[in-house]
Structure 1
């Protein structure tokens, strides 16, 4: 009734306000007038939404003349003198821009509205539109996520503030399960300092008091292959005392068919002769996945709270790869290029495989309010993971159906993980907010492998054994102080110490690695004046990149193109088909960084920003290919292994503009525009230029997107363009790598059938381009040029979204 009365009174509200302001006898106290105005304005959004949820009523006739002053009631004015107005608080989630603006450390927040906008099938496709974020893999497919163009390992990926166990990828997490995404451009003590490029924290769906029962039914298509998906989100109260739950379930099937074309040209520097090996084939992959996220939370006595969050991921995949190869000159003919001959030359091959991955993680969080200004937060988590994979490779000569060589590989991995974090926070009266915490984390992997070549055990690696056990233990302590000085300055100072110990063992060897890092962190924000929408950020930080477990394990892997004879040691191989082996003596990379940003927050929502960053990296890790004497071969073989090669620097400029078009052009339509441009530059010492850049870092990346909700129809339209130019990297003294440019055009149309149903049509990679990557390897005797690539395709998805 209150809501309807407010709506009905809206046409007269302005006139009555004018009368009340003109007659001091009605409201003599100016403070009471301001309180009434604030209360009325605070209730209007709630009254409007409440009124929309009711059945339609006949609207009152609009007044045709101004209200007369003599009819204004005087009783409320008299009552206002004697009665004290009660304080009314209207709670609601702050906007993404408000959270970003209030944070002392540079942070970008992406909420549900932005996540759902394009109907993306992977989290990587959502992230690619953010400033400075690039993704690996084929256009429109997501892939590994990189900030500021840096390669794998430089970006810290968290889920609910915690690192996920081995084998988990964000591509396995559908956007339906994500509440928001937080992107931190500089490290903080609380989230960790393993973030040279930055941190991406994916927050899963949260339990709210508001009832929610949403269904999503989708069907996708790419290259004639249909892929269905279904999602369900349920949110409701557990009790009348603040308990609530959220259940999000998603099941999907993803299928791809890709063409593969590769070539390897070997040129002899001694004879000038060439040898060309070409491979053509097609691969098909199918994955069926189930994701479940449940969050239960309770409000306890004394202001405490407790939450339990099980998180389940299960997937089953199958793949097949059929290809043929031709060589000029043909196998068996004289070859003056000096390219090593494979042990068993074949004309065509087939690889069939299947795998299963299961992960269950249970996190608990207890928040204890010690006093009004201090609290203790404790988080604990347990995780179990299991993966099984099987692959069968068969090689044939001519039209024969009998393989000349088979390799059957079966691998079983079991992972166990735990985490225990405790954080104490205290709010002082002098605008200081102190946070201190302890963290512990451990992972254990036990791996069993059974490998057979032509029905016998795989040669070459028998001395190393097929079973492997590896573990990682991490402990950290940190403290941070965040405080405000007046209305314009905010500061953040933090210190974090972290120790990581890894250990791996197999049949005849055992290796261990231990590293400790202290990282001081400073952040500051200055507002131009107390009410200004402009502010400047600055950060001085230290961060690091720790070696991955697989990089530390010294167990080698032999290239399948140059396998070992049955029961014998391996022969020679080619530099572009090198074996792989870890390095237990790797040291972590350390980086000292500076970040400075200018931000302007717009009145209609949105932001204009410009930021620059600089990183000085020591003990840079990179895979290095060397000719080595190894125990699994009778002659020296080319082996690729990670090494600390020296120092590097990287810097960049990131520009972002997110606004409504009528903010700058009053007569324009209210089109939402999102654009950003990032420029990168880097240099690695000890490697000759001009392309001695950080691995996989492009020179730039850009995004341009816009969307608009039509006034005449319940239809929203939008499109976005993602661009990454071609890049060439001098990886080592021997190898130069290159990737083709990536241009991805996405679009969506959203039709609101009614307030509880909408239909979304999405298209990714509307203008598909061919892609390619490769490298040039130069030795004292040869130049080997390798290229691979193929076509990309448009992916379509139609999704029905229902609120039940």
Structure 2
């Protein structure tokens, strides 16, 4: 009789590790695997038939000596998750954020199926690096397709070498590695997003040659081009009610559409020249060219706007070149020097033409905005690695980085500049300098324990000077971060391990938050405005957030690579930075205006639980039918709770952090009609969130639900023929709604009004068909 084995926690380690299979055991059982190492191959049965027996055929087996995603994760002292190429390609995602959304605790801010800002543990400020370096200026995650990525390393807890500049976590993107068994990789994709066409194509050229072994020069060059069109609805509005009489003073509803087209070309290279057995050089170019054009039009039902039409276009050019040298004078010791330089130029032009009706007077209004940002970046770093016979792994290094940025911004209303913004000038120059020094040691005294201790010092100085009458501003932050990690593998439970991390991290102020030029709300561009329609501006006195972190993880590894893990984390954040809306006397208007600025608001406490389950069916059900044995089950869930000090009520959350996330998925492979098939689905759910923005302003965000599925097939092995993949994202579209409600005071009459605003965003099915081949 078949038996179903459930493994809800690591306490079942002994039972799971001793499960017997229903098949006949080999004559010589395999030796038990050591923790963190691959199991030894089973010896061939003594009664194996002769090789010449024509009734038997040996399938080709490929063995890779490189580390796997599981081994990278399992052997890391600090808590991290690794996503390999197989997982990147599985769902055929064209946006990197959609790959990460299926991981525990990761949420996105955009419309389903289109990516968005990435938030680990629901927190803003997740740090993104490319090959352990800062990305080129102006880089956006949406500009890098998954086709050009080898793997993604997600660090939940910081280390001295990876950096401490994020309280949420760090995502390191490793670009394509050379593939030795084929020279070319070609991928073509065609998709539909609400019947709008999407097209992308990529090509990777793998290089190898020179030397007696043909490996003196190894490299990979990848390029990608894409054209995508998007349709969005415009459905928003606001209502103002007199709190004393209950009379609706003003109500506006905007209904319409917006369309835009994005065209992009990007590429990267990883080139390595082995000069000698001890010295090698690496060259890594990276570029992104993108252009976006769009328009929107809507009509307003109310008393303020009629026949609004807008046009915009944006262009982004980003280049980066990284050079490094690796010197290994002896076994276990290496020196690495890396230099990098990058440049970018971003321009954006927009115009909005509308008819306004204020106090019974109808006027035409044309607002034109021009924004151009040029930035140059240079970096230099050095690192020394030493592995001793006493199982110590020392890493020490220095990092320097400097960037120069110039921003030109012009706003014209009916052809004339706004007088109130004149004092800010139209040109803003900023200089950012960063220096870091770190050292860390990983020590494995035995097979059961791994200990990590590190310290990192970082200093960031930002200087800004405007062309107007404003004085030069300077912001300097310095942080020293001690870090400790412990990994314990109980001898009695070889499949289990426990991680504990005690760290300090920080989130430096964003450059735009420090020196942002005021942006005037277009709904109420003149006179009094409301909390729900505030202007935006920067704060040069902003301080970095400092976070003390505790991470505790329990992991149980199943025989063929499945995992059951649970993580609890706690963060105590000082100098919490959050956009706060306040009534101010401003220079750009005669009336007082509500202005949203980032401000340090004291402290916040955050905690959460993350659970992950991933297992093949044959790990759970020992007598599973052959056609179900390779089926992979996936489940993860996260729950977040936080409290901002100084705010009343139960909804005083850290900005935009959801209450949690949930993923359920299944992947399966099978053969039929001489083809190899793969299929799967994933369901993602993020519950509704309520946030107390100020004492009198509340924000509500509806729940997000997304269902994805894929079907893949090929006529042979991965490198033979053409491999096809049909991907379907957001199969059951649901509208997303964002509402705000608060009490505003009219700065002229000092009268209180209830202000409400809302927006409803439609979401759409995204379907794509992709083909790839290697030759």
**Residues 528-570 of structure 1 deviation map (CA, whole Å, 9 limit, x = unaligned):** 1188111000000001111100110053222222335xxxxxx
Matches within 5 A, 1:490-569: 490-506=450-466, 507-509=468-470, 510-529=472-491, 532-553=494-515, 555-564=517-526
Do the aligned partners of residues 236 and 552 (structure 1) sit closer, same or farther apart at CA in structure 2, a change above 3 Å counting?
A: same
Residue equivalent to 2:336: 377
Query: What secondary structure sits across from 1:301 in the alignment?
Result: coil
Match for residue 764 of structure 2?
793
What residue is the counterpart of 2:316 in the other structure?
A: 357
Deviations 1:198-224 (A, max 9, x none): 111111112354433111111000111
TM-score for the superposition, normalised by structure 1: 0.85
Contact 2:136 2:320 in 1 (8 A): no
On the 8 A contact 1:264/1:276 being kept in 2, the answer is yes
1:93 pairs, out of 46, 54, 66, with 66
1:754-793 correspondence to structure 2 within 5 Å: 754-755=716-717, 756=720, 757-779=722-744, 781-793=752-764
- Structure 2 partner of 1:622: 578
Taking the aligned partners of 1:221 and 1:631, their CA distance within structure 2 comes to: 47
Secondary structure at the residue paired with 1:710?
A: strand
Q: Is the 8 A contact 1:206 1:246 kept in 2?
A: yes
Instruction: Tell me the secondary structure at the aligned position of residue 404 of structure 1.
Output: strand
- Distance, in Å, in 2 between the alignment partners of 1:123 and 1:554 is 28
Shift of 1:91: 6.1
Secondary structure of 1:126 counterpart: helix
> Runs of 5+ in structure 1 lacking a partner?
1-16, 22-30, 32-37, 45-57, 64-89, 332-344, 565-570
8 Å CA contact 2:702–2:736 kept in 1: the answer is: yes
Equivalences for 1:433-444 in 2 at 5 Å?
433-444=393-404
Which residues of structure 2 form unaligned runs of 5+? Answer: 1-25, 32-37, 45-50, 57-62, 746-751
Query: What residue is the counterpart of 2:428 in the other structure?
Result: 468
C-alpha displacement of 1:40: 11
**Whole-Å separation in 2 of the counterparts to 1:169 and 1:356:** 13
5 Å-filtered alignment, 1:11-30, equals: none
Partner of 2:78: 105
Q: Distance in 2 between matches of 1:479 and 1:351?
A: 53
Cα distance in 2 for partners of 1:762, 1:707 equals 13
Partner Cα distance (1:763, 1:545) in 2:
36
Whole-angstrom distance in 1 between the partners of 2:207 and 2:707: 38
Please state whether the residue corresponding to 1:698 is helix, strand or coil: coil
Task: Deviation per CA, 1:480-518: give whole Å up to 9, x if none.
Answer: 010012110000000000001111111222211001000
Corresponding residue of 2:353: 394
Instruction: Tell me if the contact between 2:238 and 2:758 (Cα under 8 Å) persists in the aligned partners.
Output: yes
Q: 1:376-421 CA distances to partner (integer Å, 9 max, x unpaired)? A: 11111100101111111111369xxx98111222222111011111
1:61 has 2:61 as partner: no
Note if contact 2:182-2:774 (Cα within 8 Å) is conserved in structure 1.
Answer: no
Partner of 2:635: 675
Q: Secondary structure, in 3 states, of the residue corresponding to 2:305?
A: coil
Q: Distance in 2 between matches of 1:156 and 1:598?
A: 25
Tell me the alpha carbon deviations over residues 182-210 of structure 1, each in whole angstroms, 9 at most, x when there is no partner. Answer: 01110110111112121111111123544
Q: In structure 2, how many angstroms separate the alpha carbons of the residues matched to 1:196 and 1:637?
A: 32
Change (3 A) 1:531 1:375: farther
Structure 1 residues 226 and 382: alpha-carbon distance in aligned structure 2, compared to 1, 3 A threshold: same
State whether structure 2 residue 377 is matched by structure 1 residue 417: yes
Q: Which moved more, 1:175-184 or 1:92-101?
A: 92-101
State the 4+ residue runs in structure 1 displaced beyond 4 angstroms.
38-44
- Output the TM-score relative to the length of structure 2: 0.88
Say if 1:508 and 1:255 are closer, same or farther in 2 by CA, change over 3 A: same
The structure 1 residue matched to 2:223, chosen from 249, 252, 275, is: 249
Q: Is the 8 A contact 2:137 2:343 kept in 1?
A: no
Cross-structure match for 1:258: 232
- Distance (Å, rounded) in 1 between the aligned partners of 2:295 and 2:194: 17
C-alpha distance after superposition, 1:90-113 (max 9, x if no partner): 862222111111110111000000
1:132 correspondence with 2:94? no
Q: Is the CA contact 1:139–1:765 (under 8 Å) kept in the aligned structure 2?
A: yes
Does the 8 Å CA contact 2:703/2:736 hold for their aligned counterparts?
yes
Indicate the structure with greater helix content: 1
Question: 2:136 touches 2:319 (CA, 8 Å); kept in 1?
Answer: no
Instruction: For residue 644 of structure 1, report the CA deviation from its aligned partner.
Output: 0.6
Distance 2:151 2:132 in 1: 12
- How many residues get paired? 706
Q: State the secondary structure of the residue aligned to 2:575.
A: strand
Post-superposition offset of 1:164: 2.0
Cα contact 2:278–2:329 (8 A) shared by 1 = no
What's 1:404 paired with? 364
Shift of 1:62: 5.2
RMSD: 2.2
Q: Distance in 2 between matches of 1:714 and 1:490?
A: 42
Which protein has the larger Cα radius of gyration, Structure 1 or Structure 2?
1
Distance (Å, rounded) in 2 between the aligned partners of 1:218 and 1:146: 27
Distance 2:744 2:292 in 1: 40
Name the SS of the counterpart of 1:167 in structure 2.
coil
**Could you list the per-position Cα deviations for residues 734-753 of structure 1 after superposition, in whole angstroms to 9, with x for gaps in the alignment?**
32111111111000000113
- Superposed CA offset, 1:416-446 (max 9, x none): 0111111111111111111100011122111
Shift in Å at residue 42 of structure 1? 9.7
CA distance in 1, matches of 2:143, 2:516: 29
Secondary structure of the residue aligned to 2:532 is helix
1:174 equivalent to 2:145? Answer yes
- Separation in 2 of the partners of 1:624 and 1:387? 28
